[in-house]
Structure 1
């Protein structure tokens, strides 16, 4: 009898080399975008390796030359949202559980964040214990551009960034390079991309913390540190409208560019993202924030802006979304609050591990 391999077995390659277990996301033509079966396969592998004494550490990377992962399968989400389906909610439920598992993983989890790392790609890397960026890294949570809101623990990570840097990145969706990813707490170490192969080879025989220092160097300069004054002042405002007023009044060319960027995003997504970030700062552990993100994501799945945003950016690629409501002024507080309402029987519940229970490496 012939057994056809499950697509996830081709899309997530698993192997062990000495002490290290490896996960390779293998959809290079789709920039390694995550599907539901891929998430389940990664979760299954990590759960098995956690108790395997032969595995000392886990390494995740992406196939091809373009990046680790560009996020979730946007086309599948568009079809689901357009037809009123629930497959995306099921996908997010398991994806967010995986994000929490990675954050609490009892062994070193080494994420090679080379190239493009966006959305769901951040979720499978930036919660790891050893997060490595290169000169090719472009890290972003670009959800507001498709009428969505940063998820996969993105609002947790960005809420923890210094000052209001995370607010700037979440609302604009701007990608950052290595130095700025390090500054914002999205990564831990810079290693030149040419040094990744020898580093990976060393991980088969040595623990990551024993060999890492011979590969880590200083990244090329970033841009956000010099912009802290205007970013921290402008994005500290209470509302999206006031943020835009402060950006306009700052007299800084980059701030004016940020205004243009913000006004191109879904007004609803901008306001909900701002609210999600502010709430995330007070929710406590990652698990509580992921539960909030699940509420928001499920609400977004039923919104017109998610369908329209993906259509304009990914399906038709006309880059001309027609948002509803069309302006920030027409997005009311009640409209925003609906995104945070409990979804009834579809609530996500995650067990949080107290800090004293976490394994330290």
Structure 2
């Protein structure tokens, strides 16, 4: 494999060290080797006095990262014992926590598509930049899974019920809404990114970013807060659906129709996960919770079926099991949060510095 074919490219430019996710044909989807490579680089750069800033970007024209390598997870869940996926998530979630605690500025260029694991490798950073091309989402309920990589931590802290709305529907948002929801910090037009990266090589981060930041285009969610907050504040997915269908705003009914296509088990577990994440004090505690839920979903038929329908066969016709919300009991949901014993992720037992 030539250097250009490596799935993660690393280089330094002046005072900045660069991580380039380099699987453009797979929209830079993260696999286990990539997670380990990024973590190794962060270890080296943390102790390198010549490196003052870390910058993460994605190769190609389509986006930073479309998420984790869900095909590999599908195959492991269908044909294996889930060990490989659990090992991947263990290292990925630890990397998410490390990014959030990284002692040097971590600049994530969230240009284009940023979904799932792409959110995990960017939205926990200290400087998060979106452009007019950004499409940010946690779309897991559509594949019979739940938001992870610290997504329930981020969405649980969005204003009002915007995070609940995004977690359950999985819809993608643009720059303005990503800023509103706390998933990003700054708007920079995509055409200015080359100059920004050049400035990061020679200037302190704040000065470099301030040179290129512009007012963000207006988003859509601020104008929809009334029905989103009213409907998604309900305690159950069934009541959320009832409120959406009864609301006069056509967008509310559209959201209801979206929910009706999602995995009932994933919807109910996601609602519980976001609400529980709000009550947890640290990202590490939330990642521990997400690890339990993710591992439990490896044994649930909806994950394999959802990936098959949406990504592999692309017939967009998943057959969920159970098929209706009424069939998913509170006890069913609770089982996804069951402790894992010796297999726990255990991040919340560590000190904030990772020791």
1:157 corresponds in structure 2 to: 154
What is the DSSP-based 3-state SS (H/G/I as helix, E as strand, rest coil) of the residue aligned with 1:89? helix
What is the DSSP-based 3-state SS (H/G/I as helix, E as strand, rest coil) of the residue aligned with 1:111? strand
In 2: Cα distance, 1:276 partner to 1:150 partner: 9
Once the two structures are superposed, residues 95-125 of structure 1 have per-residue CA deviations (whole angstroms, 9 ceiling, x without a partner) of 0000000000000000000000000000000
Once the two structures are superposed, residues 155-194 of structure 1 have per-residue CA deviations (whole angstroms, 9 ceiling, x without a partner) of 0000000000000000000000000000000000000000
How far apart are residue 6 of structure 1 and its match?
9.6
Q: Is 1:312 aligned to residue 303 of structure 2?
A: no
2:72 corresponds in structure 1 to: 76
In 2: Cα distance, 1:108 partner to 1:282 partner: 28
Q: Is 1:211 aligned to residue 208 of structure 2?
A: yes
Name segments (4+ residues, structure 1) moved above 2 Å.
Answer: 4-7, 351-354
Once the two structures are superposed, residues 222-245 of structure 1 have per-residue CA deviations (whole angstroms, 9 ceiling, x without a partner) of 100000111011000000000001
**Counterparts of residues 84-163 of structure 1 (less than 5 Å):** 84-85=80-81, 86-163=83-160
**Counterparts of residues 169-208 of structure 1 (less than 5 Å):** 169-208=166-205
Bigger drift between 324-333 and 210-219 goes to: 210-219
1:245 corresponds in structure 2 to: 242
1:33 corresponds in structure 2 to: 29
2:337 corresponds in structure 1 to: 340
Which one of 299, 303, 325 corresponds to residue 302 of structure 1?
299
What is the DSSP-based 3-state SS (H/G/I as helix, E as strand, rest coil) of the residue aligned with 1:59? strand
Q: Is 1:52 aligned to residue 53 of structure 2?
A: no
Bigger drift between 207-216 and 163-172 goes to: 207-216
Structure 2 unmatched ranges of 5 or more: none
1:66 corresponds in structure 2 to: 62
How far apart are residue 5 of structure 1 and its match?
7.0
Q: Is 1:22 aligned to residue 18 of structure 2?
A: yes
Q: Is 1:43 aligned to residue 21 of structure 2?
A: no
TM-score by length of 1: 0.95
What is the DSSP-based 3-state SS (H/G/I as helix, E as strand, rest coil) of the residue aligned with 1:326? coil
1:234 corresponds in structure 2 to: 231
What is the aligned length? 352
What is the DSSP-based 3-state SS (H/G/I as helix, E as strand, rest coil) of the residue aligned with 1:126? coil
2:281 corresponds in structure 1 to: 284
In 2: Cα distance, 1:5 partner to 1:217 partner: 38
How far apart are residue 353 of structure 1 and its match?
4.8
Q: Is the 8 A contact 1:139 1:177 kept in 2?
A: yes
Structure 1 unmatched ranges of 5 or more: none
